[in-house]
Structure 1
Amino acid sequence: MSPRNDALRAARLRVGWRTMEQAAAQLQAHGQRFLDDPHYTVSARTWRRWEGGTPGWPPEETATVLHDALGRWPEDLGFTAPAGWVRPEAEAEEDVKRRTFVSVTAAALMPGPVAAQHVDPALIEYFQQQLEGHYRADMFLGPHDLIGTVSAQYQLIDKLVRSARGETRRGLLRVGAAYAALVGWLYQDAGDLGAAGFWRGVTQEIAVRSRDPHLIGYSLVNQAQVRTDLGDGHGVIDLCEAALDDADRLFPKVRIMAMQQQAHGASLTGDREAVDRLIDTAGGLLPRVDDDLPWGNACRRTPGYLEVQRATCYGRLGLGREADRLWSQVLAAVPSTARRDRGVYLARHATAAAVSRDPDHAVEIAREAATIAVETRSVRMVRELGALERAMRPWHDAPVGRDLAEVLGPVNEGS
């Protein structure tokens, strides 16, 4: 089979252009209106070249027409961008991201001393209760609506830490580390791994300052989560082994978190035996989780927590049938209120179905996942659906492939 530009092909199918000839005619008509130029032309031969293995790069005016018609710039449609190309909106987008990051990051970098004030120990419980509310809101809202709120509360905690003394100060440091970890997670879910890494570093610093071994272990697992998203299996394993160096001192919850994350590292290195051993060992600790710490409670809060991790690892290892069966069991227990988690699991389940050579089932599952992805704007979910698109490539030319393009159209338009 000759190479082809699947990204452009998928984009034209999403807008209903079923053939390359129709696409050329529709783009030409769109360009004539958009540019107010009746002489603007796009031939079917040109479009066929674009969908081939070496599409080249369109003229600048055609690049803007493609973007207006398909909602994507050419570099996102499989074209090879020439040196120095900067799409017209890119600089503005980067400026907005930079200003947002600087604004939120200022919460972790408040300079100099602050005016001394009395810090009541009751504030520790107040922030802990607020934290639990943020965890619940994250399940409903996704990351973007919470980053500013949670980071602002971290800034207040940091300000109080500078005045507090004794056990009150240590208690605020512990809760502050949990807030920093949540900001890092929100950034990770939003797809900004640079900002996530920064806030994971803040978490680790505050954890070390608190002298709390459980929180230090938790912060190392947080770092490992970022390495997982970066595909660095050995880095994940290194961090989780460091967290477990003195495992006997750690609460069972922290050990479970480190073991399941290490299993993800093992899946990235292709070690299924280690995946099962680590998750089975972690499962033996679940009945012993009885601490009252406000952070890291996914193993208690998430139905089938460890089987979720196993299914994700199996999917990463290419074990489609095993992952498909596990996701069916897991999703039966996930409440509809856990929107973001359910969407991620559905996307992974759909990919497992595609790997198992059941494309119709994959598309059926993807419908609900796509709806949730549009609602929550979770970049993590969009990436999972991107993995589904890749797994479905063998059916691009079949009706089921066109159905998937239609299902994912709203997701890709908003990403």
Structure 2
Amino acid sequence: MPQSESNVRLRSARHAAGYRSQQELATALGVGVRQVRRWESENPPWPHPDLQQALTELLGQEMESLGFTPPAGRDSRPDPVRRSLVGATVVAAGLAAVPMQSAAAMQPASVAADFEAVTRSHRRLYWSVAPATLHPAAVAHAALGCALLTETAGQTRRTVAAALAESYLLAGRIEFFDLRNGDQAGRTFLLALQAAGQADDSLLGSAILAHCAFIPAWTGDRDAAVERMVAARTYARRGPASAALLAWLDAVEAECETRCGNTRTALHLIGHAEDTLAAGTEHATPPWLDWFTAVRLAAFKGNTQLTAGHLPQARTTLLGVLDDMPATEDKQRTVVYGDLAAVEAAAGDPEQACEYARQALDQLGITWYAMGMDRVREVRRSLAPHQHEQCVRDLDERLYGWSTTVSALAR
């Protein structure tokens, strides 16, 4: 139908919401495509109340803004109870409620891809950019995403919400793993989970919930950690989840159990994760799951073997991790050096322990990672019986240099 004889407002709103064809909108509404054609005609019929509600929720605009004219004597304003429920579906605490918009306020569908592209860039930058530098950028980007949620609808809005959830997840990861601020990370992970709910992305929700489990595990609260892992696995079952995601959930739970002193359970979980990765699935791994590989799983295993007192096995595992680790894994390398130092300290070889600790400090001087520094400090505490030996004193000179001490206190 020529543009001059069609409902341009509805067609524009459909495109802005990410429904490129009339069939896509019809499928989302559960109606036939002929019905959508009628609505996009020159004189669209007034929809049934249920379809009015569905249209305004999917496209984010009032009926008159969508090009519809109510029949004589019919109130075009939405039911106040329904409207309050629609407005309440959007999260609070940073994600402002999304009101129905006028046609002029809606962003084009391309805004979703543009916002998503920046999120992807931040994901890659995490592995090389200093956390204190990247964190403000990720938080500011998330604030933009919150604003875009009020100006998008339908598929466009879901895409923005998913990218927003990933941005908040990245910010929370930096807060917990790099800046060691568990309280702030917990609040940020909550925002990430709320945004994932807006996107209806259960796999991303699973990843966020598993990250939430780290926080109580680090304080020895096993019950809270287990509860969050149960929730994470529930979301993963809504999937379909890839082998990598399922194996990572095992690895996270193993880390939590290790922190709570249950190394036998942790090693069983790691074995299950190894089997899961080996078996694989036909489901693709989400692109945001870039923090987990078979090498990372081996690093988890080496740390658990160390904690369990299986020193020869831990040494073998961790040396294999160093051999297999890609050159880009700077942050994880500091953790592995720290764990190897702990192995040698426990084995009664302070000289070798200090050598690995110095290598960890060398790497930390290039790429800061709070988890890596935590490992070095734990090793130094374990070397207290040898603190008068020259190798330990040399380590102290490195550990308590001006730049290292200031960086540690600043964080």
- Same fold? TM cut 0.5: yes
> Equivalences for 1:175-324 in 2 at 5 Å?
175-188=163-176, 189-245=178-234, 248-250=237-239, 251-252=241-242, 253-286=244-277, 287-288=280-281, 290-291=283-284, 293-299=286-292, 302=293, 304-324=295-315
| Mapped partners of 2:151, 2:284: distance in 1 | 28
Q: Does 1:360 align with 2:351?
A: yes
| Mapped partners of 1:303, 1:292: distance in 2 | 13
* Superposed displacement of residue 182, structure 1: 0.3
* Equivalent in 150, 156, 159 of residue 147 of structure 2: 159
* Equivalent in 124, 127, 142 of residue 139 of structure 1: 127
* Superposed displacement of residue 292, structure 1: 5.5
CA 1:172–1:122: 2 relative to 1, 3 Å: same
* Superposed displacement of residue 291, structure 1: 2.2
* Equivalent in 383, 392, 402 of residue 401 of structure 1: 392
Per-residue displacement from partner, 1:50-77 (whole Å, max 9, x unpaired)? xxxxxxxxxxxxxxxxxxxxxxxxxxxx
| Mapped partners of 1:254, 1:303: distance in 2 | 12
* Superposed displacement of residue 130, structure 1: 2.8
* Superposed displacement of residue 176, structure 1: 0.9
CA 1:303–1:284: 2 relative to 1, 3 Å: closer
| Mapped partners of 1:214, 1:110: distance in 2 | 20
| Mapped partners of 2:276, 2:114: distance in 1 | 30
* Superposed displacement of residue 221, structure 1: 0.5
Cα RMSD, aligned residues only:
2.5
* Superposed displacement of residue 156, structure 1: 1.1
* Equivalent in 371, 379, 385 of residue 376 of structure 2: 385
**Which is worse superposed, 357-366 or 231-240?**
231-240
| Mapped partners of 1:272, 1:305: distance in 2 | 18
Counterpart for residue 109 of structure 1: 94
* Superposed displacement of residue 113, structure 1: 6.4
* Equivalent in 112, 122, 126 of residue 124 of structure 1: 112
C-alpha contact 1:233 1:267 (8 A) present in aligned 2: no
* Equivalent in 139, 148, 165 of residue 136 of structure 2: 148
| Mapped partners of 1:366, 1:279: distance in 2 | 26
Per-residue displacement from partner, 1:266-292 (whole Å, max 9, x unpaired)? 212332332122122222332327426
C-alpha contact 1:354 1:392 (8 A) present in aligned 2: yes
* Superposed displacement of residue 234, structure 1: 3.2
* Superposed displacement of residue 317, structure 1: 3.4
| Mapped partners of 1:395, 1:162: distance in 2 | 61
| Mapped partners of 1:298, 1:378: distance in 2 | 14
Per-residue displacement from partner, 1:239-263 (whole Å, max 9, x unpaired)? 1122223654331243223211111
Normalised by the length of structure 2, the TM-score is 0.68
Unaligned 5+ residue runs, structure 2?
Answer: 1-91
Structure of larger gyration radius: 2
C-alpha contact 1:128 1:294 (8 A) present in aligned 2: no
Whichever residue aligns with residue 94 of structure 2, its letter is L
| Mapped partners of 1:133, 1:353: distance in 2 | 39
**Which is worse superposed, 310-319 or 220-229?**
310-319
| Mapped partners of 1:248, 1:190: distance in 2 | 32
Whichever residue aligns with residue 197 of structure 1, its letter is G
Unaligned 5+ residue runs, structure 1?
Answer: 1-106
| Mapped partners of 2:342, 2:373: distance in 1 | 13
C-alpha contact 1:150 1:179 (8 A) present in aligned 2: yes
Whichever residue aligns with residue 276 of structure 1, its letter is L
C-alpha contact 1:303 1:334 (8 A) present in aligned 2: no
Normalised by the length of structure 1, the TM-score is 0.68
| Mapped partners of 1:303, 1:258: distance in 2 | 13
Per-residue displacement from partner, 1:174-223 (whole Å, max 9, x unpaired)? 11111100000111111111211110111122222322221221121120
Whichever residue aligns with residue 313 of structure 1, its letter is T
**Which is worse superposed, 110-119 or 134-143?**
110-119
C-alpha contact 2:220 2:260 (8 A) present in aligned 1: no
**Which is worse superposed, 134-143 or 115-124?**
115-124
Q: Does 1:414 align with 2:407?
A: yes
Counterpart for residue 48 of structure 1: none
C-alpha contact 1:234 1:269 (8 A) present in aligned 2: no
CA 1:136–1:400: 2 relative to 1, 3 Å: same
| Mapped partners of 1:161, 1:111: distance in 2 | 8
Higher RCO (CA < 8 A, seq sep 6+): 1
CA 1:281–1:110: 2 relative to 1, 3 Å: closer
Per-residue displacement from partner, 1:6-48 (whole Å, max 9, x unpaired)? xxxxxxxxxxxxxxxxxxxxxxxxxxxxxxxxxxxxxxxxxxx
What SS is found at the alignment partner of 2:332? helix
Counterpart for residue 16 of structure 1: none
| Mapped partners of 2:269, 2:113: distance in 1 | 34
> Equivalences for 1:63-82 in 2 at 5 Å?
none
CA 1:171–1:292: 2 relative to 1, 3 Å: farther
C-alpha contact 1:174 1:210 (8 A) present in aligned 2: yes
| Mapped partners of 1:234, 1:317: distance in 2 | 21
Whichever residue aligns with residue 204 of structure 2, its letter is L
Whichever residue aligns with residue 154 of structure 2, its letter is G
What SS is found at the alignment partner of 1:351? helix
C-alpha contact 1:142 1:340 (8 A) present in aligned 2: no
